[in-house]
Structure 1
Amino acid sequence: MAHPTPSTGATGPIAELVARARAAQRTYETWTQEQVDMAVTAAGWAIIEPGRNRELAELAVADTGVGNVDDKIRKNHRKTLGLLRDLKGTPSVGVISEDTATGIVEIARPVGVVCAVTPSTNPGATPANKIINALKGRNAVIVAPSPKGWTTAAKLIEFIHAQFDRIGAPRDLVQLLPSPVNKQSTTELMTLCDLVVATGSQANVRAAYASGTPAFGVGAGNVASIVDETADASLAADRILRSKTFDNATSCSAENSLVVVDAARPGLMAALEARGAVMLDASQKRVLQSLMWPEGRLSAAVIGQSARVIAERAAALDAEGRTGWLAMAERDPRVLMVAEDGVGHDHPFSGEKLSPVLTVYAAPDFDAAAATVERIYGYEGAGHSVGLHSTVAERALRLGLTLPVSRVIVDQPHALATGGNFDNGLPFSLSMGCGTWGKNNFSENMNYRHYLNITRISRPIAERMPTEEDIFGAYFAQHGAT
C-alpha cells in the first residue's frame, strides 16, 4: 500500500472523492513502468492535441479574463511537451537506482493521493503539469483550482478521462474539487490527502503548510533583472520584452523590475522604446499607480491585461491626460515603463505586478545594481530568481553566491527560461521552489521526484573508517591537539 488510509472518520462529498481516489490509486500502484508511462503520455496528449489545446486556452481567457489565447496555447504545448521530454525514460516504478559503491538501492514508492492547488493565471498548464508528475509517481490526484479556473480545469480533466478510457486507466485517478470551490472545501481536501502541492497566492501556500498534511508550496514572485554595461542592448531588449509580454506577464517569472547600469541605460532604453515599450512621465505614473492599487492591493483591472487595455483604463481616470493616454493606447504599446528609486510599501511599483508594467531602476555600476536587487527582494520576491544580461561570466556566479535567489537566469527571456526551456537545463515546471528565503522547504523546480517516497535498501560494504589523523590532522597542525 502506498500510504495508510487515515482513520479520520470524515464523511461527505470530499471524503468520498478522496476515497474513490484511494481505491483507484491502489490499482494504479500495481501497474508496470510501461503502463504508468502510457498513462502519463495519455494525460499529456489530452492537453497538447491542437484542437483541445485551443479550446482550453480560449476557455481560460474567457473565464478568467487574464492573459491571451495565443500565448496560453504556446504555454500549454511547450510546458507539457518539455515535461514529457524530461520524464521520458525516467524510472519511477520499483528499483530506480543501484550504487554498488555505497550498497544503496533506491525504490520508488507512491505518496498516495495528491491535492493539487492551482491558480487562475494558468488554469490549464499548471493542473496538467501537476497531474502528469503525480501520475508518473503512481499517485492519484485531485485538483483544487481557483474558482475562476474551475471550468478550464474541468474541461482538461474531461479530456484526460477520455484518454484514460482508451488505455483502461481508472478515471478516479484524476478528479476535480466540486464547484463552487471555496476556502473551506480546499482546506478539507488538503487535510484528507497525503500530499499537497500548492501554486498560486501566498494565502493558498500558507494554508497548505498549515493543513497538517506534508506540503510543497512556492514563494512570491517579483523578479528583477540586471542589465550591465557589457550587455548587447538589442538582444537584452528582445529577451526582456519577449518575457514581459508573454501571456500579458501573468507568470510569476516575468520581470517586474529592471536594474540598469548607467553606462547601459541609453542604449537599452532606446532599444526597448524602439520595440514598443513606453516610459511614462511622473504624472502618468501617479495615475497608473491609482489604477493599479486603488485600495492598496493590486487590482484585477490590470492583472493579465495588455498594455493597451491598461492605458485605456488609465485614460478614464485622468481627465487632464486623457488625450495622451488614448494616443498611447492607439500606438498599441507592448509594455508600460515607470522610473523608480524607492522600495517597499510606499513604492508599490517595486512589487509584483502580474501585468506588462515594468519598473526601471538606475545604478552607477554592477555592485550597486546587485545591492538594489537585494533591497527589492528584502521587500518581496526573495528566493525566486534574478535575471542577468551581461558578458561577464563571473557576475552570474557573484549573484548566485550573494543574492537570496534559487536561480540566476543569464541572457534569456526570464519568464520562458525559469521554468525550464528547450535551450537550458532546468526541469520543465510551473512551480518554482524559493527555498527558506521564500519560506519554502525546497529550492528547485518542482518535478516528479517531489511526488515520490523513496525506500532505500542498505547492504554492507567494505569498511571505510577514517583515522583521527585523516579528520583532525589539518586542525591539529594549525591549532594543536589540546
Structure 2
Amino acid sequence: MKELRGVFSTVNETVQAAKSALYIYSKLCMKDRQDIIANLRQELSKHIDELAKMSQEETCMGKVEDKAVKIRLAIEQTPGVEDLETKVKTGDGGMTFFEYTAYGVACAIHPSTNPCETMINNTIGLLSAGNSVINCPHPRAMEVSKYLTDIINKVIFDVCGIENIVVTLNECMLKYIKEIMTHPDVDLIVSTGGSENARAAIACGKKVISGGAANPTFIVDETADIQKAAYCISKGASFDNNITCVGEKNIIIVDKVCEEFEEELKKNDVFYIRDVKQMLQLSKLLLTEDLLPNKLLGGKNADLILEKAGIVTNRSYKLIAVETVKIHPFVTQELLLPLISVVRVKDFDEALDVALSVEQNLKHTAGIHSSRIDRLNLAQRVLKTSIFIKNGSSLDGIGICGVGGTSFTIANVTGEGAITAKDFARKRRIALVDKFSIK
C-alpha cells in the first residue's frame, strides 16, 4: 500500500511534525502563501468528483452530486490570504498598524456530514493565516480524509519544499483528539460539529473557535412569495439529504397560506404528510425509544425512509414534509435527514415567538420569507443567529449565491459566526511613534 504523506501513527509524531513544519513555514512571505493556496485550488479541482464519491461511499450519507457542489464551493470560494486586510491609522503622534499573525499549530476537528469540504475550507483558511494544521476527521470519514491530506501535502511540497504543514492521524479516536487538544504545542482548536467536541475544546483553556448544535428554523408569512419560498426551502432542505448544518429543518408558517405552500412543495418533489397515522409511522422509524434521532438513518434519501416506514408511494421524492405541533421531536431535534417539519401559526407575531422557541437559542441558522421589510428586519433582530437568510435558500447562507465567500465552520458556540482566514489569526496592534504622518 502506498504511504500517505502527512499521516502519522501517534499523537506526538503528529504534533511534532506540524510544529517542525510551522517553523519553516513561518519564514515564508505572503506571496508564498498565495502561491500555495492557488496551487491547492488548482490541484484539488481535479479531484472533486473522486472525493465526493469516496466521501459518500465511506460515510453512507448524502448525495454524490451535492457533495461535489460543496467541495467545489470550498475550493473556489474559501477566502484566502486576501482576507487578512491590514488597516493603518495615522496622525500627528505617528502611525498605528492593525494586522494579523498566526496562532501557530492548529487542531481542526471535522464532522462526518461534510468531511472533505470542511477540511478544504479550514485548511485554506488556516494556511492563509500562517498556521500549520492537524486535521482530526470523524472516524466515519477517515480514509477519504487521509487521501485528501496526501494530495494537499504533495501540492505544498511541490510549491515550497515543506513537508507536513497539514497532517492527520492514521486513526482519529476521541481519546487521540482530546490528547491533541490538550497538547502543550497546540495553540488553536477549531471544532466543527457536535456539542460534545465543543465542550471538550472549551475545557482545554486555549483559544477555541467552535461550532455546535443547530436547528435551522424558517418563517413563512402571509405576504411571502409562496412559490419562491417553497422552491428555496425544498432546494435547501433536500440538498445532500439535509445533512448540511444550515439546511432548513423547521418551517413556521402563517395558517392563511399553509395550504398554498403545501401545493407548491408538492410541485417540488416533496411528499407532504398531514395524516396522523403516517406521521406515527415515520416517528417510530426515525426516533429512538428516548425520542432522539435514529442516527442509522442519518443522510439517507427520502424514498428509502418512506419505504422503511411502510408508506407506499407511486413516484420518487427528494424531501418529506410533516405537518405537526411545535413540541414534536421532528421540530425540536436536528434529524440530519431529508425531512422538514411544518408548524402552523395564526399570524406573524406568533410565528416569530414559535421560531425563537424552536431555534432554542442555538444562534446557528434561521431565515424568513416575507415581502415586508419591517418583518424581515424584526426577525433578524429577534433571531440572533450566526447565519440569517431573507427570502432565499439556506444554501445562500454558505455562499452558494456567490457572494461573501464560503464557510463550513459556523462558530455559533464561540460567537465568530461564519469563519474565514482572518478568524484563524491573532490580531495585533503595532505603533510607530513620532513624525510618520504624511498628511
Give the TM-score taking structure 2 as reference length.
Answer: 0.91
User: For 1:287, which of 274, 277, 281 is the aligned residue?
Assistant: 281
| Counterpart contact for 1:228–1:261, Cα < 8 Å | yes
Letter of the aligned partner of 2:318 in structure 1? Answer: R
CA separation in 2, counterparts of 1:222 and 1:88?
32
Alpha-carbon offset, residue 91 of structure 1: 4.1
Matched to 1:265, the amino acid is C
The match for 1:139 among 115, 131, 139 is 131
Question: What is the SS of the residue equivalent to 1:74?
Answer: helix
Contact 2:271 2:317 in 1 (8 A): yes
Who wins on radius of gyration, i.e. which is larger?
1
Separation of aligned partners in 1, 2:221 and 2:433: 54
Give per-residue Cα distances to partners, 1:238-289, cap 9 Å, x unaligned.
1111101111101110111111112221221110012211122111111111
TM-superposed CA distance for 1:42, in Å, is 2.5
Letter in 1 for 2:282: L
How far 1:348 moved relative to its partner? 4.2
Verify: 1:98 aligned to 2:77, yes or no.
Answer: no
Give the aligned partner of residue 128 of structure 1. Answer: 120
Residue type of the partner of 1:356?
A: P
1:12-161 correspondence to structure 2 within 5 Å: 13-49=10-46, 52-83=47-78, 86-87=79-80, 89-91=82-84, 96-100=86-90, 103-161=95-153
In structure 1, list runs of 5 or more residues that go unmatched.
1-11, 316-324, 435-439, 463-482
Q: CA distance change for structure 1 residues 347 and 107 in 2, over 3 Å: closer, same or farther? A: closer
Amino acid at match of 2:400: N
Superposed CA offset, 1:363-411 (max 9, x none)? 1111111011011123xx6211211111111212101222242332011
Could you say what the CA RMSD is over the residues aligned between the two structures, in angstroms? 1.9
After superposition, the C-alpha distances for 1:20-57 in whole angstroms (9 at most, x for unaligned) are: 111111111111111011112233334322xx111111
The match for 1:367 is: 349
State the one-letter code of the partner of 2:398: G
Residues 297-332 of structure 1, C-alpha deviations (whole Å, 9 max, x = no match): 3113321111001112212xxxxxxxxx13x2x411
Task: State the one-letter code of the partner of 1:419.
Answer: I
For 1:262 and 1:169, how far apart are their aligned partners in 2?
63
Determine whether 1:302 maps to 2:297.
yes
1:313-352 matches, within 5 Å, as 313-315=308-310, 325-326=311-312, 328=313, 330-343=314-327, 347-352=329-334
Alignment of 1:194-205 (within 5 A): 194-205=187-198
Q: Tell me the percent identity.
A: 25
In the alignment, the residues of structure 1 paired with residue 139 and residue 243 of structure 2 have an alpha-carbon distance, to the nearest angstrom, of 17
More moved, 120-129 vs 332-341:
332-341
SS in 2 for 1:383: coil
**2:236 corresponds to:** 243
Distance in 1 (CA, whole Å) between partners of 2:374 and 2:403 is 19
**Residue 231 (structure 1) aligns with:** 224
Aligned equivalent of 2:396, options 398, 404, 417 = 417
Q: In structure 1, what residue type is equivalent to 2:369?
A: H
Corresponding residue for residue 166 of structure 1: 158
Q: Given residue 406 of structure 1, which amino acid in structure 2 is its aligned partner? A: S
Query: Does the CA-based 8 Å contact 1:247-1:304 persist in structure 2?
Result: yes
Is the contact made by 1:46 and 1:156 (CA closer than 8 Å) also made in structure 2?
no
**Does the 8 Å CA contact 1:115/1:197 hold for their aligned counterparts?**
yes
2:175 alignment counterpart: 184
Distance in structure 2 (CA, Å) of the matches to 1:388 and 1:147? 36
Corresponding residue for 2:410? 432
Which one-letter code corresponds to 2:324 in the other structure? E
Instruction: Give CA-to-partner distance per residue, 1:423-450, whole Å, 9 cap, x none.
Output: 443x41001122xxxxx22242111112
After the TM superposition, list the runs of 4 or more consecutive aligned residues in structure 1 that deviate by more than 4 angstroms. 459-462
Please give the TM-score of this superposition, normalised by the length of structure 1: 0.83
For 1:87 and 1:59, the matched residues in 2 are separated by 26
CA-CA distance at 1:15 after TM superposition: 1.5
Other structure's SS at 1:405 match: coil
Q: Distance in 1 between matches of 2:302 and 2:426?
A: 45
Give the aligned residue type for 1:312.
E
- Matches of 1:90 and 1:215 in 2, distance apart? 20
Cα deviation, residue 459, structure 1: 4.7
Q: Distance in 1 between matches of 2:369 and 2:74?
A: 24
Q: Relative contact order (alpha carbons < 8 A, sep ≥ 6): 1 or 2 greater?
A: 2
Does residue 390 in structure 1 map to residue 370 in structure 2?
yes
* Partner Cα distance (1:90, 1:447) in 2: 7
Q: What is the letter of the counterpart of residue 348 of structure 2?
A: F
1:203 & 1:362 partners in 2: Cα distance?
33
Q: Which amino acid aligns with 2:317?
A: P
Is the CA contact (8 Å cut-off) linking 1:56 and 1:152 kept in structure 2?
A: yes
1:220 to 188, 213, 218: 213
Whole-angstrom CA distance in 1 between matches of 2:434 and 2:270 = 63
Q: Which amino acid aligns with 2:32?
A: Q
User: What SS does structure 2 have at the residue aligned with 1:239?
Assistant: helix
- CA apart distance, 1:460: 5.7
Q: Secondary structure at the match of 1:100?
A: strand
Name the aligned partner's letter for residue 72 of structure 1.
K
Say whether 1:446 aligns with 2:439: no
> Residues 153 and 299 (structure 1 numbering): CA distance in 2 closer, same or farther, change over 3 Å?
same
Where in structure 2 are there 5+ consecutive unaligned residues? 1-8
